[in-house]
Every structure is written in C-alpha cells, then in structure tokens.
Amino acid sequence: MKILDYKLYYFLGVGGIGMSALARFFNHYGKNVQGYDKTQTVLTKELEGENIKCHYNEDVELLKSILSGFRPEEVLIVYTPAVPKNHAEYVYLESNGFNIKKRSQVLGEITQSFKTIAIAGTHGKTTTTTLVTHLLKTAGINCYSFMGGISKNYGTNLLLGNPNDSNAYVVVEADEYDRSFLTLSPHIAVITSVDADHLDIYGDKNSVLEGYFLFSKLVKSDGCLIVKKNVDNELKLTNKRLIYSLNLNTEYCAESVQVKDGAFHYDIVSPVEKITDVVIGLPGLHNVENSIAAVTIAQQLGIKGETIKQALRSFQGVKRRFDYRVKSENVIYIDDYAHHPEELKASIGAAKQLYPDKKITGIFQPHLFTRTRDFADDFAKSLDMLDECILLEIYPARELPIEGVNSQMLLDKMKSSNKYLVQKENVLEFLKNKNTEVLMTMGAGDIDKLVTPIEELLKQRIK
C-alpha cells in the first residue's frame, strides 16, 4: 500500500520532534491521525489543537477502541525507537498483525516521491536543514521540509508545499541514530560532521564512519554530494562531491569574516558566484560554516546572490539552538539543545566570543547513560570552559542506569572549582541566590521544562 493510502495513522511517541512532523504531514492530507506519548507538552498541545487526538497513558483498551472499524492492513503504525518494545500498546499491535514502521522508514518512503535534499551530520544538521528551507522559501521554490527543530521564522518543524507540483523538493534532516538516514533517497546530500556519537548503536567510531560512507553512496547519479573538508578526509570519499569549509582552501569557503554589532559579516567564495558582504545573525563560527553548506545547495538550485543574502540576513534560527530567552544589558539567558561534547564546546565558545567580559554560567543535563559514559572526559573538558557549571542528573530517555555512570562522575572529572550538582526541582531556588550575567541551559532531555520558569525568574531582575 502507498504511504498516503492508509485509513488510520497511529503514532507511538507522537510528541517527538520528528514524529510530530510526520503526524502533521498526514494530517495535512486530511488523514485520520492519532497518537500516544508519555507526557503532554507544548508540542502535543499544538497537535491536539490541529485535531490530532493524543493520549498519555499506556492504554490498550483505548487503543482497541481507536482501532475498531479498521482492518489491520488499513492502519499504519509509526513508532520511534525511544518507545520500548515492552510498551503495552506496542506489544498489542505487534501481536495482532498491524503494520508497524519506524519513523525513518516512513520518512524514507515519503522522500521517494520528491527531489530530496538530505542534511546529515553529528552536529549542525538542524540549523542547516532549517536554513536551506528558508533559502528555498525565500527564492519561491516549492518545497516541503521536515526539520529537527522548531524554525523561528515559521514557528513549526514542518513546512508544506504544493502537492500538485511534481517537481517539488523535500528538505529533510537525515538522522544517523539507528542508521535511520540509510532509508532516504537523496538527490542532494550534505554531511556537516562525522564525530562519534550513538555508540550504543554503532559500537565504535569506525562503524559511525561506515554509516556516513553508506549514506554518501545513496545520492542519485544525477545528484550532488556536498561535504565539509574534514569529513571528506575522514570518509576517504572518491565519488564526485563538492567540498566546503570555513576558511580552508576549498571550492566553497568564507573570507573576510568579522563581527559587527553582534552579527557575522563575511564573503562566500564559490565557483558558481562569489557573494560579498553576507550577514548572518547567528552566533558562532560553526554557524558561518553551516551557512556555507546551505549556500552551496542554494547555488546548485540556481538561487542567486541577492536572494541568498536576503535569506541569510532574515534567518532567525531554530528554537533551542542558541536561543535567546532574555537579552538585556545586565541579564542574558540562552537556551541550547547541545548534548554532545563538541556541541557544548561550540555553544559555550560562541557565548565566550560574544561576551568576553561576562561570567558564563551553564546548567547542563547529560542525556543518556551510554553517551555520558562514552564521552565523559570530553564532557568534562567542554564544561570546564564555563566560569560556573550547574550539573543536573542524567536524563535516561530510553536507557536503564549503568552502574558508576552518573553526574557526580562528570563533576569529579572536571577541573573547575566552580561546579555544583543540583537536583532539577531545586534549580530555581538555587538560581535565586545567584547573580548570573550570562546564563545558559543545555541538554536534550527534559531540561526544556525549566526554560520558561528560569526566563520568568530572570525577567523579574530587569523590571
């Protein structure tokens, strides 16, 4: 059965950023879409407001009621690996012959119907995906987009194009977790970085590189592969590709990079068209580099310099990606999704670059026991970049505890003397006694639930 021919689409883990985008996609086509998630969030409330029914308890009887009147072959079950296989609803669906597919499989089937632009990489893929989407929309190119975060320009993680246009593009974030990106059918692909991550899946760095190498081979023969210079070196690629970097001697790179009034100004060097006096308001040189990758894609699609400059200047970024929540002369609060040592390094580094004379305080919630174990020394080094570190307990997500792996272990590895281990429920009280200058919250777990309360607390200080 074709992906749009089912009569009911049921999501196990509907509140995830990627899952919710798929739910919205099918809902856009007028399909019956329902789902389960463990907790109600701002995102699930938005889905409910869009007439996607959600519930928050493992409830097999309710599930039976939802499924009544449909034959198993008329129902598509979409699940995320974050839902355990012993989940009561999953067990019922599997034992009763329902068609169960991973989120990545469903997205892969969708990409077969479009010209697909897929952005992969351990870091940078969400911002780059969202920026590519904004470039295409600014240029008036018909596109769909599945983004791994909420675009601040559009207020959503899904953009919908004209379904009657057979030449429409789809822009997707190509997730390496669980080798999900190997289900995609890219016409244009980007690889921004290949640092080790998800070693609970891959085992070691070489297996990570193998996964990205296989992804690079999925690009269609008439398509285009775009890779960062160090990625090209690590993967030892031989197929035709375009190579970019921040400031190395590559086909696509930046020149004359400088900071003016909190924004980066630079020129983009390209064999297609050199673009001068580009301005992007995102912090950090890593975002300048991400913009080069995005511009490389734009130029392959024929987008011209003035349109590119307009899009970069108006790009507002992604929620939870160096996301300013409070910004005044004396109180600054930034929220960031960073959950890998390299991401922490980039985010904290950007804050230090922007505010060299201010104290940087970071609240970090480690994500996954395995990631904390595998990169403990690197986490400690990145967190030591902070002037003050507040560490929360590890967010387990899908994992069971590992003996000896906890936040105290990280704290002990840190060289900083200005470090604290604080329970999540005590953070607000702890901050009341702190005179923070630049405060950052970082992590991919449920630390996001602290963002609004912290924002409200700090705003009281500037009244």
User: Would you say 28 and 160 are in contact if contact means Cβ atoms under 8 Å apart?
Assistant: yes
User: Would you say 326 and 332 are in contact if contact means Cβ atoms under 8 Å apart?
Assistant: yes
- Annotated domain spans of the chain: 8-101, 114-314, 323-460
Q: Helix/strand/coil (H, E, C) string of 240-293? A: CCEEECCCCCCCEEEEEEEEECCEEEEEEECCCCCEEEEEECCCCHHHHHHHHH
Distance CA 335, CA 366 (A): 15
The amino acid at residue 318 is V
Distance CA 201, CA 79 (A): 18
Bridge partners, residue 169, by sequence: 115, 143
pLDDT recorded at residue 198: 65
Put the strands of the sheet holding 143-151 in their side by side order: 156-159, 143-151, 169-174, 115-120, 186-191, 224-228, 242-244
- Cα dihedral angle (339, 345, 351, 352), rounded to 10 degrees? 150
Q: Could you tell me which CATH number the domain at 323-460 has? A: 3.90.190.20
List of residues 6+ apart from 413 with CB closer than 8 A: 376, 377, 379, 380
Q: Among the CATH numbers 3.40.640.10, 3.40.50.11540, 3.40.1710.10, 3.40.1190.10, which is that of 114-314?
A: 3.40.1190.10
Distance CA 355, CA 363 (A): 17
CATH 3.40.50.720 fits 8-101, yes or no: yes
pLDDT recorded at residue 164: 74
Residue with tokens 């407001």: 49
70, 248, 268 from 254: Cα distances, Å: 56, 8, 5
Structure tokens at 277: 């006096």
328, 390, 435, 451 from 461: Cα distances, Å: 10, 20, 10, 16
> What's CA 451's distance to the chain center, in Å?
18
User: Would you say 111 and 185 are in contact if contact means Cβ atoms under 8 Å apart?
Assistant: yes
Q: What is the pLDDT along the chain (463 residues), one digit of tens a residue?
A: 789 999 999 999 999 888 999 999 999 999 999 999 988 988 999 999 999 999 999 999 999 999 998 999 999 999 988 888 899 999 999 999 999 999 989 999 998 888 999 999 988 899 999 999 999 999 999 999 999 888 999 998 899 988 777 788 999 999 877 788 999 999 999 999 987 676 667 778 888 899 999 999 999 999 999 999 989 999 999 889 999 999 888 999 999 999 887 789 999 999 999 999 999 988 889 899 999 999 999 999 999 999 999 999 999 999 888 889 999 888 999 999 999 999 999 899 989 988 989 999 999 999 999 999 999 999 999 999 999 999 999 999 878 899 999 999 999 999 999 999 999 999 999 999 888 999 999 999 999 999 999 999 999 888 6
82, 130, 156 from 153: Cα distances, Å: 29, 9, 8
Other C-beta atoms within 10 Å of 7: how many?
14
Q: Say which DSSP state 179 is in.
A: G
21, 110, 213, 393 from 106: Cα distances, Å: 12, 6, 22, 34
Whole-prediction pTM: 0.82
Around 134, how many Cα atoms within 13 Å sit in the side-chain half-sphere?
A: 29
3-state secondary structure of 344: helix
Other C-beta atoms within 10 Å of 128: how many?
25
